[in-house]
Structure 1
Amino acid sequence: TTGYQSGRMTPPKYLLPHVRVCFGPTGQLVTVLPTRPAEGQPAKVEIHDTQLMLQDSDEMEDLKVFPGPLVRNETHKNDVLMYCQKMAKECSEDVDMLDRESAELIWRLLELLLKQNGTIIGTDIADLLLAGHEPSTQEYAVSGPRIVQSTGQSSDPLNTPDKEDSRSSSPAVRISTDRTVISAAQQLEESTDRFRNLLLYGRKKEALDWAMKRNLWGHALFLASKMDNRTHASVMTRFANTAMRMNDPLQTLYQLMSGRQPASVTEGAGKWPSGCVTQQIAPTETNY
């Protein structure tokens, strides 16, 4: 033990004194000031009342209405739900908040978690995100029916109307696309809107059935190709049986490429008279 010196063998974590702060059990703020008691400086501890410190701040009003402390089996679930709904409404009505939609979305998410006891799935998140934001084909369309504003003046100099006629004529709207084409385009847009909304809400199976019923085979085949192989094969078979006749050469080609016997083989044989088929195919003794 000769030459052994007792004392600290590792460097201190903090080289200089620092402030130590913690909260007390009844809402006090306890602060330990940076002093050196080992060097003879007195230890200073301050105890502050948080209610007095925050009585003039806006955050204190929020703390008063907060249904806390949140204790399991003691705090009523409905009180917390009402608080989340109140905060979400205040966020939506606060025009001075920079990102009020995100703040409202957070409170709605907390409300959803409370209602479902912390268990949510992808469709719940989709419903929450798309609430009040229903997309349509018009938002994504590149171009639509071209509408030309007619002012009664023709660009053709040979068909220029008289001044009196041009004055008496009123502006009219002329659509350069046939009504039948516009009606079909509108139906296609409505069907695509429904297909898109079903996918946004996570309903892939319903969206696939809707696309096949509305002859959106491009969307149906692409969606099925990203699903399992059985679904893809089923959609391809349904497309071949619905969009083409059984004796269509395309149908025959697709069935041959799929390794199946074409349906046109059996249909063609059934159209020949039985006697004619027997005379042409059945062998006789004289043929040998």
Structure 2
Amino acid sequence: MGIGCAAPAGHFPAAAEPPSLPGSRKSAVSLAFEPGLCALPPSQPSGQPSLLLQYQESGLSSSSHELSQYIRDGADDYMAHSGLCVIAGEPSVSTPPPAVPLKFPQLHTALCFGAGGHLVLVCPHHPAEGQLPRVELHSLEAILHGTEELEELQAFPGPLAREDLHKVDVMTFCQQKISTGCDLSTQRGRDSSLLWKLLVLLCRQNGSMVGSDTAELLMQDCRRQDRYRRQEPAANLLGMADDEWAQRQPLDLITGELPPVVETQAQIVEKFTKLLYYGRKKEALVWAMRNQLWGHALFLSSKMDPRTYSWVLTGFTSTLATNDPLQTLFQLMSGRIPQAALCCGDATWGDWRPHLAVMLSNKVGDTELNHRAIVTMGDALASKGAVEAAHFCYLMADVPFGYFGAKADRMALLGSSHRGRCPWPWQGAGTR
């Protein structure tokens, strides 16, 4: 294999050619000098003495080891600094790393919003050609003249400073936004209207309110009261199936069928009392539960063992619809995150407002549980795209405002999501 090397200029003796060697041709060794480069040709053909032997015999080096170290060190030093590499005896230059692309490959105009309603533009220029930069100031009022955006800006009673603005003007502005900017026929429009009404309430009460105030606002904004269907207690909770219960009823002597029993409230209570005359408390509880005497059943079971009381309580809650706000209240009072807080926003669950209202008006002793329940409801609504409803929950839980660039923050601009791809109101992700 041939030997190739590259070394910096001046690494070899200053002679342009090595001394002539006896018995060899003058062209046996040739050095090609270029600025900063010296290359040795491939090894000699077979039958001729090696270059190393010729240099040793000519006195250029007294040791073959010294010469080999000299040549190798020079080559390594140059390759390390010049980026040359040798493959199969032929020197080659390594490809330089690609240049970092420019951030702005073309000239463009830079702009920003300035003070006093101005738009500042810096026009493109060539400083290398002696061009001076040009800065232009434009009035936004002139640019937006005759547009809907300018009308909205002029109607805004800002700046919102207590010493410069009366709260009646702010309340009037909010009422106008409710009447003109909220489509009450849609759920999102009703949620947006609720946010504006909350601002009106805060202005009216100077920023001070309690949970019952907000609950009243929530229920006023509901279009209708949902009717939650009651259910019969589960047969497995009563301890017997329907056919087994039917076998205990007296049959009609003529038809042999169960007669339709229509009992008054007084008759139901009288039978409950007769069962207790004979000490049949378990049957009395089942009778009361079947006939919706939950007050009698709960009081009697509370004076018995805890297991029986829990059984009657479970039977009572099983008669409530899953999306009934009473379920939400009972689950919260039992120390659990209500199911409504996890499922609100689905069409099957109906309106989310009664559930929030019952949690705000009936806070339990565990404040951390109340906070987590309301924040969880807000997260569930936000995951389904109900941004305004979610922000209302976050306000009730005193969640602080974050920053636009921090996607982990729950809200940055009221009524607008900063987590999506279109965070601005005019791009469809919020309301003005």
Q: TM-score, length-normalised on structure 1?
A: 0.42
Which has the bigger relative contact order, CA under 8 A and spacing at least 6? Answer: 2
Question: Structure 2 length as normaliser, TM-score?
Answer: 0.30
The structure number with the bigger radius of gyration is 2
